[in-house]
Amino acid sequence: MGRLVPAVTRALDILELFLDGDGTLSAPDIVRRLQLPRTTVHELVTTLAARKYIVPVPGQPGRYRLGVRPYQLGARYAEQLDLAAEGQQVARTVAETCDETVHVAILEDTDVIYIAKVDSTHAVRMVSAAGRRLPAHCTSVGKMLLASLPEKELAARIPEDAELAGMTPNSITDPLALREALAEIRERGIAVENRESNPDVSCVAAPVRDRTGRVVAALSISVPMIRWSEERRAELEELAGKGAADLSERLGHRSVA
């Protein structure tokens, strides 16, 4: 790895300060927060303003906000995003950590479609494939995605009198019971599937958000029952949450602490 350039690092540190607070800063603010010399800050601010990375705030002398260039760079980044490709990379990292099968899925009508998948290396593992479609209410990713829908949209997709087909004896087939499960998922921020799509497999899933905060996918970890336990479930819930947060960050989402 090459040497970091101090001036570039400091310029980027200044730009990242605008992510917090009200989005405006003065040179004294930057000096205080980054503990940099005033002359250095003045030179960096002048350079960033000249290149339109920051611009003066109208009516507030000496204060700056982000300019058009960061927006243009962000827009270009968004244009190049590929959810499936990014999901595959994150799924690989998660799978390497837990050595279980990891999926990323999206919602289409009342089904989920797996757009990325990385297998476990264990001899006993879940058999599936990217591109496979399953009823959303029978899977952890599907329940996570359904729980993220506005109530009107959920009602349009799954009315209270809907007939829900089961895949195993554990599948939720009662729309009212499904809504109760979805309410719990919203509260916890994590979904669990207890042998609802496969009698030998349980799963956990977490939401993936885009830059607007909208849930656009879900990431799940699937485990054969021979390796499933409450302790393991808790570990995988945390790992799925971290993986989903990583993928969300790649999509431009910024979580608010």
Q: Which of 73-87, 112-126, 151-165 has the highest mean pLDDT?
A: 151-165
Domain with CATH 3.30.450.40 in the chain: 81-251
Rounded Cα distance, 141 and 214, in Å = 15
Taking the model in full, what pTM does it have?
0.72
Rounded Cα distance, 200 and 227, in Å = 10
Residue 21: per-residue pLDDT: 77
User: For residue 155, how many other CB atoms are within 10 A of its CB?
Assistant: 14
3-state secondary structure of 14: helix
Q: What is the mean pLDDT of residues 115-124?
A: 76
Digit-coded pLDDT (tens) for 215-257: 999 999 999 999 999 999 999 999 999 999 999 999 888 876 5
Residue 125: per-residue pLDDT: 45
Residue 1 pLDDT > 70, yes or no? no
Any idea which fold 6-78 has?
Arc Repressor Mutant, subunit A (1.10.10)
Q: Is the separation of the CB atoms in 197 and 134 below 8 Å? A: yes
CATH superfamily of 81-251: GAF domain (3.30.450.40)
Digit-coded pLDDT (tens) for 22-50: 789 999 999 999 999 999 999 999 999 99
Domain with CATH 1.10.10.10 in the chain: 6-78
Given its phi and psi angles, is residue 52 left (phi above 0), alpha (psi -120 to 50 degrees) or beta?
Answer: left
Digit-coded pLDDT (tens) for 165-215: 999 999 999 999 999 999 999 999 999 999 999 999 999 999 999 888 999
